[in-house]
Amino acid sequence: MVLEKNRIAEFNGLHAAAHQRKFEFLASEINNVEDVLQKLIDFQVAIPSWALGTGGTRFGRFAGAGEPGSLEQKLEDVGLLHALNQSSGAISLHIPWDIPENYAAIKAQAAQLGLQFDAVNSNTFQDQKDQELSYKFGSLQHVNKAVRKQAIEHNIDVIKHGVELGSKSLTVWLSDGSCFPGQLNFRKAFQNTLESLQEIYAALPEDWKVFVEYKAFEPNFYSMTVGDWGQSLLYANKLGPKAYTLVDLGHHLPNANIEQIVSLLLMEGKLAGFHFNDSKYGDDDLTVGSIKPYQLFLIFNELVEGMDARGMDHATDLGWMIDASHNVKDPLEDLLQSVEAIMLAYAQALTVDRKQLNAAQEANDVVAAQEILQNTFRTDLRPLVAEARLRSGAALYPLQFFREQKLREALIKERGSKTVATGL
Ligand code: PSV
Ligand code: MN
């Protein structure tokens, strides 16, 4: 579906006066408002190719209608999101769920939609049809060298797809681990995994990075071979300068202090980037900011502080991606909500008075430090984020636009009501 630019302009025109009043009031309270706006305009969040359809739990899946049935249609959906918010200018592919058949055509389509290819993701957590050896007992950690070799070759293959598309990084998430005490020799599993990763690392092109994603549990419930940030960092340090630790917000044990993890990984120059989502209990893959928005803000607060301390470019030096599943919401509406939550948390972090916060910390003024953070968190910055959208040609209110203009209905008309997208 092609969205004519004038539809967005017309919509914005209807809301311009009311928006302007709110924005001007807010802008008068913010010091470096033009600088903040430019950073918001530059910031882009990648959309995973597997999040454009309805997800499910192991008890069922209730598919929506008008879902994308091909990689081309997935690109169209991300293009639509990007047209609506101008903040979703990248797509991340999972191989083999989304293998491009014609690189040139897919690249041309992406370029036309203003999209780039973010990290490519390998998949050795499922057995594929016609696959020779099984990953039931792990992939890169496997006791059998032949299984490890097969998994290594898959990752190298994924890199090749990425090179064709112009990606610059590979994300490796392993479900490897064990379900019962005694099942696995931890040390041997670590060594096997490290050696396998070393072979993959050796196949990385010069300007590529590899992201090692950790997860505390699931699908293995006793041990995970890359179970936490410490283990991921061990691998990343041993692998070399092109290897980094990837933080997925849903991959921690309950109450983990993720903002502290982020701060230290940044300090070490080893933070790869993020898979954003939200959760109440485990890896719930819920809409970003729907459960713990204050935690999201605190994470961005550390990100901005840590990136500025290292002179990093917020928009390009880390990988920003959503990794969520939409079981009861329209995937596109859910993704619009997630991107909005990310932009808001980023905007809040950009407007924290760092000088004052630093002074409060140096003076052990605990009360003042809390006030500074919470004052920022409780300031409604939505008009600021909307202004950034307005300036970049996006819709002032993307979700409202999506609904009023009946975009899902148009997609259903085009694709039908019985559609299932590939992915989890
Ligand atoms: C695993 O739970 C994960 O977060 C990894 O990033 C996977 O690649 C992704 O979800 C999709 O299953
Ligand atoms: Mn993830």
pLDDT digits (tens, 9 = 90+) for 66-105: 999 999 999 999 999 999 999 999 999 999 999 999 999 9
* First-last CA distance in the chain: 25
How far is 114 from 385, CA to CA, in rounded Å?
20
Q: Which atom of ligand 1 is nearest the CA belonging to 123?
A: 8
Do residues 170 and 122 lie in contact, with contact meaning Cβ atoms separated by under 8 Å? yes
Structure confidence at residue 420 (pLDDT) = 76
pLDDT digits (tens, 9 = 90+) for 346-370: 999 999 999 999 999 999 999 999 9
How far is 280 from 150, CA to CA, in rounded Å?
36
Which of 323, 326, 424 to mutate to test ligand 1, by most ligand atoms within 8 A of the CB atom? 323
Joined tokens for residue 269 = 């120059």
Do residues 286 and 280 lie in contact, with contact meaning Cβ atoms separated by under 8 Å? yes
Residue nearest ligand 1's atom 6 by CA:
173
The runs of H, that is alpha helices, within 98-241 are 103-113, 145-165, 186-202, 229-239
Task: For residue 10, count other CB atoms closer than 10 A to its CB.
Answer: 11
- pTM, rounded to two decimals: 0.97
Ligand nearest to the CA of residue 98, numbered in listed order: 1
Q: Which atom of ligand 1 is nearest the CA belonging to 94?
A: 8
Distance 160 CA to ligand 2 centre (A): 21
pLDDT digits (tens, 9 = 90+) for 166-222: 999 999 999 999 999 999 999 999 999 999 999 999 999 999 999 999 999 999 999
Q: Which atom of ligand 1 is nearest the CA belonging to 175?
A: 1
Taking alpha carbons only, the member of 108, 61, 75, 55 closest to residue 1 is: 75
Distance 162 CA to ligand 1 centre (A): 18
Distance 333 CA to ligand 2 centre (A): 20
| Residue 246 backbone class (left: φ over 0; alpha: ψ -120 to 50; beta: rest) | beta
Output phi, psi for 411, to 5 deg.
-65, -35
pLDDT digits (tens, 9 = 90+) for 91-149: 999 999 999 999 999 999 999 999 999 999 999 999 999 999 999 999 999 999 999 99
Residue nearest ligand 1's atom 5 by CA:
173
How far is 351 from 301, CA to CA, in rounded Å?
9
Which residues partner with 116 through β-bridges?
A: 90
Cα separation values, 206 from 3, 168, 251, Å: 38, 10, 30
How far is 297 from 92, CA to CA, in rounded Å?
24
The runs of H, that is alpha helices, within 203-286 are 229-239, 258-267
Question: Measuring from each residue's beta carbon to the nearest atom of ligand 1, which residues come in under 6 Å?
Answer: 50, 121, 173, 213, 215, 248, 275, 283, 323, 424
Residue nearest ligand 1's atom 7 by CA:
173
Distance 213 CA to ligand 2 centre (A): 7
Distance 285 CA to ligand 1 centre (A): 10
Question: DSSP states of 307-367 as a string?
Answer: HHHTT--TTTSSEEEE----SSS-HHHHHHHHHHHHHHHHHHHHTS-HHHHHHHHHTT-HH
Q: Which atom of ligand 1 is nearest the CA belonging to 248?
A: 4
**CA 191 to the chain's CA centroid:** 29
Structure confidence at residue 423 (pLDDT) = 64
Residue nearest ligand 1's atom 3 by CA:
173
Joined tokens for residue 207 = 């300007």
Q: Which atom of ligand 1 is nearest the CA belonging to 213?
A: 6
Structure confidence at residue 322 (pLDDT) = 98
Give the DSSP letter of residue 287.
P
382-391 helix and 33-42 helix, angle to the nearest 10 degrees: 60
Report whether pLDDT(424) > 70. Answer: no
Q: What is the CA radius of gyration of the chain?
A: 22
Residue nearest ligand 1's atom 1 by CA:
173
